Amino acid sequence: MTSNMATADSGIDWRKLLAENAIIPALLVFIVLAGIATGGRFLSPSNLTIILFQSSVLGVLVLGQTLVMLVAGIDLSIAAVAILAAVIMGAGGSERQIMMNFSGILPYLGFLPAILIAIAGAALAGLINGLVVVKLRIPAFIATLAMSLALSGLAMLATGGSPVHYPDPFYESFGQTKFLGLPMPIYMFLALSLGLGLYLSRSKLSVQLYATGGNPRAAALSGIPVSRITILAYTASGLLGGIAGFLFLARTGSVAPHSGGNLLLETIAAVVIGGVSLAGGKGNVLNAFAGTLLLVGLSNLMNILLISPHLQDAVSGIIIVVAIMANTRLQDAPAGQ
């Protein structure tokens, strides 16, 4: 063991840096290979825009999921939060849509109130998740699964199962408005990712998040407000779920109670491919962001190559396992001696 006296940082440990951020070179290699495999079509500006556009909803959910996973939790309700938020925004925010509904459970709220209520409700769902996990000591897996079922039920109840087809026209026009050639949702997605990434890199909160996830007992005994940090992570996850609901509506122009589809599993896949540890305390927003792009890019590539959707799922599954294996190996290797 080489250990010498040092009073200041003695340079950068490149090997460790690479081991912890392997997803970045992996993403670059993937982009080059995908470009070659498709004769450049993958790299065309219009295709790259599509990838970013498709990443926007998933990418925002991934931010929330990352925060929760950093404190060694998991948020299985995040996709349901997004869908319910989209339903409230779409149905409650549009007079025309409310007339279509039979149940009448969701009143007409008005455009702006609907957005605010949906996002506040999403944050509230996250807060409840956090309180249940911390105060009632119910495992995150169970607590958020229950929340997911409850919210999906609410979405069904509010819509009677039928899709929200006529949200306020604002959503569709927002989704199609372009600035410098890129649709607005992409800017929102990038701004949120960048903002959160930068904030975490220079805030007290990030040190507290990693300490809480890395070793909650030691963190608590060092004076870190572990309960508050954990609840905060779940609340932020809910809030980001609400924002993702907004982007969902803007991207597709409609939402059905079942629109979530694979969204939840994709958030977990993207986070894990990005090297965020399910055990907590390891990983970062930038890598999770790269994981999202890799996952969406892969599915886009397979579409271009006309690979059957069924096979696509299998390939994604294999990639997830390979990514976890690579991350485990890389991160364990330097500590071997």
Partner 1 sequence: MRTIVKTFPGVQALRGVDFDLMPGEIHCLIGENGAGKSTLMRVLTGAQRPDSGEIEISGETFSGLNPALSQKLGVGMIYQEADLVPALSARDNIFLGHERVEAGMILKKKEMRREVERIFGQLNLNFPPSTIVRDLAPAQRQLVQIAKSLSRNIRILVLDEPTAALTDSEIGYLFDLLNELKSRGIGMVYVSHRLDEIMAIADRVTVLRDGSHVATQRIGDVTKGSLIAAMVGRNIDAEARSTSSKADKVVLSVRGLTVKGQFEDVGFDLYQGEVLGLAGLIGAGRSEVLECLFGVTQPDAGSISVEGKAVKVNSPIEAILLGFGLVPEERRESGLVLGRSVAENITFPVLDRFSRFTFLSRGKLVEVASRLVSQLSIKTPSLGQSVRTLSGGNQQKVVIGKWLAAGTRILLLDEPTRGIDINAKFELYQLVRDLTAKGMSVIMASSEMPELLALSDRILVMSEGRLVAELDAAMTDQVEIMHHAVAGARREGEAA
User: Per CB under 8 A, does 208 bind partner 1?
Assistant: yes
Choice between 53 and 210, CB closer to partner 1: 210
User: Per CB under 8 A, does 337 bind partner 1?
Assistant: yes
CB 290 within 8 A of CB 27: yes
User: Per CB under 8 A, does 10 bind partner 1?
Assistant: yes
Name the minimum Å distance from CB 189 to partner 1: 24
Name the minimum Å distance from CB 280 to partner 1: 9
Choice between 114 and 232, CB closer to partner 1: 232
The distance from CA 52 to its chain's CA centroid, rounded to whole angstroms, is 14
CB 247 within 8 A of CB 189: yes
Phi, psi angles (nearest 5°) of residue 148: -60, -45
CB 270 within 8 A of CB 291: yes
User: Per CB under 8 A, does 214 bind partner 1?
Assistant: yes
Residues in contact with partner 1, counted by CB under 8 A, come to a total of 36
User: Per CB under 8 A, does 14 bind partner 1?
Assistant: no
* Count of beta carbons in the 10 Å neighbourhood of residue 149: 13
- Please state, in angstroms and rounded to a whole number, the distance separating the CA atoms of residues 150 and 156: 10
User: Per CB under 8 A, does 223 bind partner 1?
Assistant: yes
- Please state, in angstroms and rounded to a whole number, the distance separating the CA atoms of residues 95 and 87: 13
CB 239 within 8 A of CB 75: no
- Of the ranges 3-11, 73-81, 131-139, 244-252, which one interacts with partner 1 (CB under 8 A)? 3-11
User: Per CB under 8 A, does 137 bind partner 1?
Assistant: no
User: Per CB under 8 A, does 215 bind partner 1?
Assistant: yes
- Please state, in angstroms and rounded to a whole number, the distance separating the CA atoms of residues 255 and 169: 14
Integer angstrom CA distances of residue 216 from 143, 195, 328:
19, 26, 22
Name the minimum Å distance from CB 4 to partner 1: 7
Binding to partner 1 (CB under 8 A) within 186-205 occurs at 202-205
The single residue among 196, 211, 264, 271 that binds partner 1, judged by CB under 8 A, is: 211
Question: Footprint of partner 1 on this chain (CB under 8 A)?
Answer: 1-11, 13, 202-208, 210-211, 214-215, 217-225, 281-282, 335, 337
